[in-house]
Amino acid sequence: MVSPAAPLVLIGAGNMGGAMLAGWLESGIAPGAILVVDPRPSDAMARRLSDLGIRHETAVPLGVTAGVLLLAVKPQVMQAALEPARSLVGPDTVSVSIAAGKTIAFFEEHLGGAIVRSIPNTPAMVRRGITACVANAAVTPAMRAEADSLLSVCGPVEWVDDEALIDAVTALSGSGPAYVFYLVECMAEAGRKCGLPADLAMRLARATVSGAGELMHQSPDGAATLRQNVTSPNGTTAAALAVLMAGDGLQPLMDQAINAAWRRSQALAG
Ligand SMILES: NC(=O)C1=CN([C@@H]2O[C@H](COP(=O)(O)OP(=O)(O)OC[C@H]3O[C@@H](n4cnc5c(N)ncnc54)[C@H](O)[C@@H]3O)[C@@H](O)[C@H]2O)C=CC1
Ligand SMILES: O=C(O)[C@@H]1CCC=N1
């Protein structure tokens, strides 16, 4: 358990670190058990930390051993962030990275100790994310349970044994919210071209995608069944799907997009 004596140390309080922090507080973790290290938090984040009474440092302070170290900086600055963070790692510390691409071998080289590599996604901000993770051999069952409980404040957590899968997870669910938001943009623009005022088209597109997401969340039916439920024979949906599914349909484009993200995640490893 994290405590003021063995705090939960968050390195990087940006979009994802901030989302996780909000989830931890909501789940009952005491502000006094959290230490945030970020040299340049947004003004809003700095105010929030101060209002909540959470200790914030612009550099890693001396004399602290983390219970859990949550690494939430960009992959490109991870190595620089790890050097001072080494002093936070003790024998009972578990370090949890959420960075795209950065491998367990990288963290073993630059940080050492018990490492969990994970990938959440931005719906974590509304506790509707999903995270997949993998642990190195130094992670004990108790550390794994601790990491699981901290990550699951943002939504379900999936553990995999094969680290290579994490790049594919990053491409599918890590980046995936952006594909859906782009779909909303495209739907709204198509509606505008059919004569809808732009703001109404955007409201309709947003509500349609978020409502469809919620229906999928609550329904026991699979995505294909939910799609078929919308599709009346010879109706309007069938007319649209005939276009989206013509030839091989949308699949090859999605294959290419997710493959590009997958390869980019692999390239960020070093
Ligand atoms: N944004 C997303 O959808 C997802 C992001 N990730 C991963 O999460 C990590 C963070 O991404 P975001 O939150 O989007 O980035 P962000 O740019 O919003 O936040 C990064 C934070 O790190 C801070 N920072 C920079 N250098 C630092 C240092 N040396 N020590 C401590 N803090 C430092 C920055 O001031 C900033 O507040 C990345 O590694 C990314 O790959 C993973 C899944 C989804
Ligand atoms: O675009 C990125 O690299 C990060 C990782 C997954 C989502 N955002």
Distance 243 CA to ligand 2 centre (A): 30
Distance 79 CA to ligand 1 centre (A): 13
What residue's CA is closest to ligand 1, atom 29?
81
For residues 46 and 43, give the distance between their C-alpha atoms in angstroms, rounded to a whole number: 5
**Which of 169, 175, 180, 182 gets mutated to test ligand 2 (max ligand atoms within 8 A of its CB)?**
175
Contact by Cβ (8 Å): 121, 100: no
Residue 132 CB-density burial (10 A; 0-12 exposed, 13-18 middle, 19+ buried): buried
| pLDDT at residue number 270 | 67
Residue whose entry in the numeric block shows the structure tokens 């050097």: 83
C-alpha of 198 from chain center = 30
Bridge-based pairing of strands 157-159 and 34-37 is unpaired
For residues 270 and 263, give the distance between their C-alpha atoms in angstroms, rounded to a whole number: 13
**Which of 71, 73, 83, 169 gets mutated to test ligand 1 (max ligand atoms within 8 A of its CB)?**
73
The reply, when asked if residue 23 is annotated as ligand binding, is no
The answer to whether the CB of 73 is under 6 A from ligand 1 is yes
Distance between start and end Cα atoms, the chain:
32
For residues 118 and 266, give the distance between their C-alpha atoms in angstroms, rounded to a whole number: 14
- Domains plus CATH for the chain? 8-166 (3.40.50.720), 176-267 (1.10.3730.10)
pTM: 0.95
How many C-beta atoms surround the C-beta of residue 95 within 10 A? 29
Contact by Cβ (8 Å): 117, 103: yes
Closest CA to 34 of 139, 111, 17: 17
Residue whose entry in the numeric block shows the structure tokens 């997009």: 257
| pLDDT at residue number 3 | 86
DSSP characters for the chain?
A: ---SSS-EEEE--SHHHHHHHHHHHHTT--GGGEEEE-SS--HHHHHHHHHHT-EEESSPPTT---SEEEE-S-HHHHHHHHHHHGGG--TT-EEEE--SS--HHHHHHHT-SEEEEEE--GGGGGT---EEEEE-TT--HHHHHHHHHHHGGGS-EEE-S-TTHHHHHIIIIISHHHHHHHHHHHHHHHHHHTT--HHHHHHHHHHHHHHHHHHHHH-SS-HHHHHHHH--TTSHHHHHHHHHTSTTTTHHHHHHHHHHHHHHHHHTT-
Distance 259 CA to ligand 1 centre (A): 23
| pLDDT at residue number 248 | 85
| pLDDT values of the chain reduced to their tens digit, one per residue, 270 residues | 788 889 999 999 999 999 999 999 999 999 999 999 999 999 999 999 999 999 999 999 999 999 999 999 999 999 999 999 999 999 999 999 999 999 999 999 999 999 999 999 999 999 999 999 999 999 999 999 999 999 999 999 999 999 999 999 999 999 999 999 999 999 999 999 999 999 999 999 999 999 999 999 999 999 999 999 999 999 999 999 999 999 988 999 999 999 999 999 999 996
- 197 φ, ψ (degrees, to nearest 5): -55, 140
The answer to whether the CB of 17 is under 6 A from ligand 1 is yes
**Which of 98, 133, 170 gets mutated to test ligand 2 (max ligand atoms within 8 A of its CB)?**
170
Ligand 2 atom nearest to CA at 100: 5
